[in-house]
Amino acid sequence: MHDLKSISSAFAIDGDFLAAVPFGSGHINDTYQVVVENTTGPAKFIFQRINHNVFRNVAGLMDNFRRVTGHLQDKLASLPGRDPSRETLSMVPTLAGDTFHVDGGGNHWRAYVFVDDACTYNEVRSAEHAFQAARTFAEFQKLLMDLPHPPLVETIPDFHHTPKRFAKLTAAIQADAAGRSAQAEPEIGFALARGEQTNVVVDLLASGGLPWRVTHNDTKINNVLIDNADGRGLCVIDLDTVMPGSILYDFGDQVRTTTGTAAEDEEDLGKVTFQIDMFEQLVKGYLSVGREFLTPAEIGLLAFAGRLITFEIGIRFLTDYLEGDVYFKVHKPNHNLYRARTQFEMVRQMESQAERMEAIVAAAAQA
Ligand code: ADP
Ligand code: GN1
Ligand code: MG
């Protein structure tokens, strides 16, 4: 574990360091909760080591973070009944006034205030949870629609460019760098049979058929804090990938992480069931705010986006498996293969329920 006491001393935080514990279950960064004791009692913070192999432009990323949270704070402060101190992240600057600190080992660190009396959950707990998560992401997008120019920095270029993700998979299959392709034959076959659908969203973005917006791009169910007091969606977190994108990326990743009965890396596919009622809640929660600003083309592709993004993350896991686990953190042998399989099982089930999904979206859009 890193020396969080020494790292926290670089930030503008009053009080004596008490403790640090690892937090969360992310695949890329390292997250810690840090507690200090100051004159009013204990105060909690989140510290994160930003994976700078994945995020090559940490200064650009943190500038995005500053602009996005600053904008959200200003907007929330202007709205009656809203609480900017809990409904968006509050960054803690370094003593030098910077947005991040580089330690002696070359690690990049940032800090923000811990939002108390709220939790994230790795799996959906109820229909209301699904509705609230989706409503909160839609609200996040709505509040960012008037983020002043220039556009945000692309923190990972082509992050949701599904055809490029697909091309990377075919290259990984050919190279077979880790000698694993024989073990992944069914998954490779499943993926290769679905190449033609990968360009729908990028083509429409390029032709103007879909608008570019400020999107989150990593809308896992555990990236929205739920208020302990009333179960309402409170605060969107994990802002590393906030950048220009399509809302279909955001809605699609909510479908991927909220509608299944099993964890992302479940080994027993018998436990993986796509729940159409959770999909319906997501659609309703998302459109409760989104119908104010979404275009008909965006609404018309919501059901497709669930399949597309679940497939896209599936091929990313499969690519990483074939390349020898170089990107996502893994905690057991074949971890990325299990993850890919689960995603593909979800895609398979969504394909077989495509018509019902379309009907749910159409009905909610009319309501
Ligand atoms: P990652 O998923 O990359 O590890 P996150 O930014 O999502 O990083 O943070 C990990 C976990 O830490 C979250 O799921 C959430 O439980 C908790 N967390 C993050 N930021 C806050 C915050 N400001 N207040 C309370 N909890 C937080
Ligand atoms: C990663 O960092 P984390 O765990 O929130 C990944 C997402 C994937 C997700 C799959 C920067 O998210 O794109 O959807 O894993 N983030 C990055 O669980 O690649
Ligand atoms: Mg997260």
DSSP string, 338-363: HHHHHHHHHHHHHHHTHHHHHHHHHH
Left (φ > 0), alpha (ψ -120 to 50) or beta: where does 210 sit? beta
Question: What pTM value is reported for the model?
Answer: 0.97
- Residue 215 DSSP class: E
Element (H, E) at 188: helix 185-192
Q: What is the pLDDT of residue 1?
A: 78
Q: Which residue has a Cα nearest atom 23 of ligand 1?
A: 114
The radius of gyration of the chain's CA atoms, rounded to the nearest angstrom, is 20
Q: How far is CA 353 from the centre of its chain?
A: 25
Its CATH class, for the domain covering 127-366, is alpha beta
Query: How much is the pLDDT for 278?
Result: 98
What distance in angstroms lies between residue 137's CA and the mean position of ligand 3's atoms?
14
Minimum-distance ligand to the CA of 30? 1
Q: Which of 23, 25, 27, 216 to mutate to test the pocket of ligand 2 (most atoms within 8 A of CB)?
A: 27
Instruction: Give the model's confidence band at 25: pLDDT under 50 very low, under 70 low, under 90 confident, else very high.
Output: confident
Q: How does the average pLDDT of the chain come out, rounded?
A: 97
Ligand index nearest the alpha carbon of residue 335: 2
Per-residue model confidence as pLDDT tens digits over 136-148:
999 999 999 999 9
Report whether residue 195 contacts ligand 1, using a CB cutoff of 6 Å: no
Residue 264 Cβ inside 6 Å of ligand 2? The answer reads: yes
Mean pLDDT of all residues in 183-188: 98
Which residue has a Cα nearest atom 21 of ligand 1? 114
In this structure, the number of other CB atoms found within 10 A of the CB of residue 327 comes to 17
pLDDT at res. 303: 98
* Whether residue 108 has its Cβ less than 6 Å from ligand 2: no
Distance between Cα 33 and ligand 1 center (Å)? 9
**pLDDT > 90? residue 228:** yes
Q: Mean pLDDT throughout 96-110?
A: 97
Contacts of 145 (CB under 8 A, 6+ apart): 213, 214, 293
Q: Is the pLDDT of residue 319 over 90?
A: yes
Contact residues for 101 (Cβ-Cβ < 8 A; gap 6+): 7, 10, 11, 94, 108, 109, 110
23 has pLDDT over 90: yes
Q: What are the residue ranges spanned by the domains of the chain?
A: 4-116, 127-366
**pLDDT score of 361:** 98
Burial class of residue 80 (count of CB atoms within 10 Å of its CB; 0-12, 13-18, 19+): exposed
- Whether 19 and 35 have beta carbons less than 8 Å apart is answered as yes
Using pLDDT thresholds of 50, 70 and 90, give the confidence band for residue 53. Answer: very high
Cβ-based neighbour number of residue 235 at 10 Å? 21
pLDDT at 367 over 90: no
Model confidence pLDDT, tens digit, residues 54-80 = 999 999 999 999 999 999 999 999 999
Domain 4-116 and domain 127-366, same fold? Reply is no
Give the whole-number percent of the chain exceeding pLDDT 90. 99
- For domain 4-116, give the fold: Phosphorylase Kinase; domain 1 (3.30.200)
Is ligand 2 within 6 A of the CB of residue 54?
yes
Given a cut of 90, is residue 24 above it in pLDDT? no
Average pLDDT over residues 114-124: 96
CB of 242 closer than 6 A to ligand 1? Answer: no
Ligand 3 centroid to residue 332 C-alpha, Å: 20
Inter-residue contact 279 to 359 (CB < 8 Å): no
**Quick one: average pLDDT of 106-128?**
97
State CA 9 to chain mean position distance.
Answer: 29
Cβ of residue 120 lying under 6 Å from some atom of ligand 1 = yes
Q: Please report which confidence band the pLDDT of residue 214 belongs to, taking 50, 70 and 90 as the band edges.
A: very high
The amino acid occupying position 182 is: A
